[in-house]
Amino acid sequence: MDFGDTEQEAQFRSDAHAWLEANAPSAGELDGLDEIAASKLWQKRKYDAGWACIRWPKEFGGRDASAIDQVIWNQEEAKFDAPGGVFMIGQGMAAPTMMTWAAEEHKARYLPKLASGEEIWCQLFSEPAGGSDLAALRTKAEKDGDDWVINGQKIWTSGAHYSDYGILVVRTDPNVPKHKGLSYFFLDMKSPGVEIKPIKQISGGANFNEVYFTDVRIPDSQRLGAVGQGWQVAITTLMNERASIGGGGGGVNVDLAYRIANKVNIDGKPATEDSAVRAKLANWYVQEAGLRFTGYRSMTALSRGEIPGPENSIGKLVGAPKSQAMASFCMDLLEMTGAIWDPELSEEAGLLQASYMAAPGGRIAGGTDEIMANIIAERVLGLPQDVRVDKGIPFSEVPTGSS
Amino acid sequence: MNFEFSQEQELLREQARGFLGDNCPARVVRAVLEGDSQQSVELWGKIAEMGWTAAVIPEEFGGLELSYLELCVIAEELGRAVAPVAFSSSVYLATEAILAAGNQEQKEHWLPKLATGEAVGTFAFSETHGRPTAASLTTVASGGKVNGTKLPVADGIVADFAVVVAGSSQGDGASLYLVELDQAGVSREVVRTLDFSREHAKIDFNEADAQLLGGDGSGWDATQQLLNRAAVLYAWEQVGGADAALEQAKEYAMGRYAFGRPIASYQAIKHKLAHMYVKNTLARSNCYYGAWALNSNSGELALAAATSRVAATQAFVNAAQENVQTHGGMGFTWEFDCQFYYRRAKLLSVNIGSEAHWQDRLITAYEQTNAA
């Protein structure tokens, strides 16, 4: 039992690091570029050198690398403050779905441009009436000649406003049980009838959009899977949500909380000497370390050519509430100044307050805490599903609320 | 990256689980809990025959000289089985104390007997309520005689000798002594604890013959090192128990019907079990860190031990409590086995220092790591 790389892994790590060292964009290079332009610059450079989407087949712009190489690459790239978040959905979710379900000419047309960063994709799944219960979505598609005509509304679409393409799940038959009436498409986001409206969040930012479809036409050739097979295709997408191996860091962590506790006093002594403060810090340390070492165990499985166990699914369920609790606690440590978000006046330039205001999103996006607990209960522990009153009845007869 | 047990160690686990399934099923735990201590004696003999008590003892003293990773595997399986034996006292504490501080003669005298299981050792530290310090120790030794009272001493009735922590005017304020318990200067009585499948004792030392173990005045530091090492092994026992409690809760929830469906299909139960799983998984991963640090004599041992221990204590106590809760009224009956985990989880959680104590040690180790 050790933390070291195998010889082969060490070689790969050193090659990757050397290339990054020589090629990662400098601050000066990125100066004046917005996030998208900066991300595209970096992605193209990686693509040209064969370091983009390294697990993909070479024919689609990848490197045919192993899963463990991907983890090592991620770790090494994270050491350089390189941009790239805008490609996550396209490369991480849309691309694997295309690889499994798309026609060969579509793979050849779209995958290399996903890898090179030339084209950005978004994911059009959630709806006002279909969140945790995704299959309850209502956006409908009706066949008209060789096209499908889409009407309805999607929500929580990250990056819709700068995306070139989107993956879309719609209802093609409301008269069968809900999972059976869905179909899956990809579409050009510049299609006529697509309207994008940003959603302002409680944090003040606007990372998500509402996307409205009014008589949007999609060629039938852009359907992935059979008509009515959309749920099965969507599962491919959802299973490919990036495994955040070896993640952590960023935002409020134990190191930051300790530093703040050491700066402020309780009864004239540093808060780090207070036993209640120490107990809380210890609990969070245990959680952070537990997630880190769980990541190492997953890496070991990958390193041995095995598929990591489901233990990796706990990351978000532990990490998101922890971020919220830690931001809240650090603000408490500051006592009355804890409310100040003004970067000039607040401790850590407003990071705690920003983290606190962003935290609810972390507990909801990509599966709420409650859904994550259900996933662990059902897929890891094998507990039965809850009774579903919509099971086996046509979607059009499923009871709905007022909104 | 190789953050897993080896194939050989996994084989050992399989063998250990099979052995304990045959020789330490719930009815044996129950028999001991209900007063049939002969069953505990017989189980101890079989465990010793398996060589587990000899695991990390060097070959020159009759041991198997396996690594600590093997001992972690054994600890986890003993924890799963809630084994009613003095393994933790004798192996994680007494044997470790002699390995760390014993002179050649002491090692030659005790280690072969500990290896065969013929001798059972224990660790006599606690005296009264609250967290002990070197200054709070009232047990003292001079001229090869020890005086004072230790309460409670885990497995203090079956033990042949104890490693006694006594106050000292030298060095760090404490010294360790080897004291044989079957002698005129020692009187023991059974102390009822919440887990009487492991008999505890109150031990009075009255001019008892004692042999210094390690240097006079270095016993407090030795105790802290010993506790760090033992904490990793305790944590593995706790993780084993936590997983067994989760499995029991799950099995019951799948088979128990209410309002026409298994209670395992209700989110109130599913989420409870999912959160048990999360705590257990974090604890297990932290225990890998502890196992690595223990086995490699890492400078991070203090931090790794406290991290393992806090996580495992929280996981086992939570799993044991929620297992009873999942069983409803039946979990509260003597007849059901939920009590085994409920008792053992709390016993282990205070036995080498409470959760709060180890949280404090964790942050102290964190501070020292960052200062270094």
Are residue B266 and residue B355 in the same domain, yes or no?
Answer: yes
* Mean pLDDT, range B305-323, rounded to an integer: 98
**Residue B52: pLDDT band with limits 50, 70, 90:** very high
pLDDT in tens, B177-190: 999 999 999 999 99
Are residue B194 and residue B299 in the same domain, yes or no?
Answer: no
Predicted confidence at residue A312, as pLDDT, reads 64
Reduce the DSSP state of residue B302 to 3 states and report it.
Answer: helix
> Does any domain span residue B341?
yes
Interface of B with A in 270-289 (CB under 8 A): 270-271, 273-275, 277-278, 281-283, 285-286, 288-289
**b/e sequence B6-38, b meaning 16+ C-beta within 10 Å:** eeebeebbeebbebbeebbeeebbbbbbeeeee
Predicted confidence at residue A302, as pLDDT, reads 82
> Does any domain span residue B152?
yes
> Does any domain span residue B160?
yes
Domain count for chain B, please give it. Answer: 3
Q: Which of A128-137, B154-163, B256-265 has the lowest mean pLDDT?
A: A128-137
> Does any domain span residue B1?
no
* Residues of A whose CB is below 8 A from B6: 1
Average pLDDT of chain B is 97
Interface of A with B in 88-147 (CB under 8 A): none
Does the beta carbon of A3 lie under 8 angstroms from any beta carbon of chain B? yes
Domains of chain A: 7-119 (1.10.540.10), 122-239 (2.40.110.10), 254-365 (1.20.140.10)
Tell me which residue of A263, A252, A241, A163 sits closest to A207, measured CA to CA.
Answer: A163
Of B264, B270, B283, the CB nearest to A290: B283
* Mean pLDDT, range B237-261, rounded to an integer: 98
Does the beta carbon of A10 lie under 8 angstroms from any beta carbon of chain B? no
* Residues of A whose CB is below 8 A from B296: 2
Catalytic choice (A210, A241, A311, A348):
A241
Are residue B172 and residue B96 in the same domain, yes or no?
Answer: no
Does the beta carbon of A67 lie under 8 angstroms from any beta carbon of chain B? no
Are residue B186 and residue B265 in the same domain, yes or no?
Answer: no
Are residue B75 and residue B197 in the same domain, yes or no?
Answer: no
Are residue B240 and residue B287 in the same domain, yes or no?
Answer: yes
Are residue B260 and residue B300 in the same domain, yes or no?
Answer: yes
Predicted confidence at residue A403, as pLDDT, reads 55
> Does any domain span residue B2?
no
- pLDDT tens for chain A, residues 1 to 403: 887 888 999 999 999 999 999 999 998 999 999 999 999 999 999 999 999 999 999 999 999 999 889 989 988 998 998 888 899 999 999 999 999 999 999 999 999 999 999 999 999 999 998 888 999 999 999 999 999 999 999 999 999 999 999 999 999 999 999 999 999 999 999 999 999 999 999 988 888 999 999 999 999 999 999 999 999 999 988 877 654 443 444 579 999 999 999 999 999 999 999 999 999 999 999 999 999 999 888 888 888 888 776 666 798 899 999 999 999 999 999 999 999 999 999 999 999 999 999 999 989 988 899 999 999 999 999 999 988 899 999 999 998 886 5
Interface size A-B, in CB pairs within 8 Å, comes to: 156
Q: CB within 8 A of B179, min separation 6: which ones?
A: B124, B146, B161, B162, B163, B164, B186, B205, B208, B209, B210, B211
ipTM of the complex: 0.96
Does the beta carbon of B168 lie under 8 angstroms from any beta carbon of chain A? no
Catalytic, A77? Answer no
Dump the DSSP string for A132-198.
SSGGG---EEEEETTEEEEEEEEE--TTGGG-SEEEEEEES-TTSBGGGGEEEEEEETTSTTEEEEE
CB B371 within 8 A of CB B249: no
Which structural domain, as residue segments, surrounds residue B154?
121-215
Are residue B239 and residue B311 in the same domain, yes or no?
Answer: yes
**Nearest chain B Cα to A375, which residue?**
B274
pLDDT in tens, B5-35: 999 999 999 999 999 999 999 999 999 999 9
Residue finishing a domain among B101, B116, B131: B116
Are residue B226 and residue B359 in the same domain, yes or no?
Answer: yes
Of B250, B264, B270, the CB nearest to A374: B270
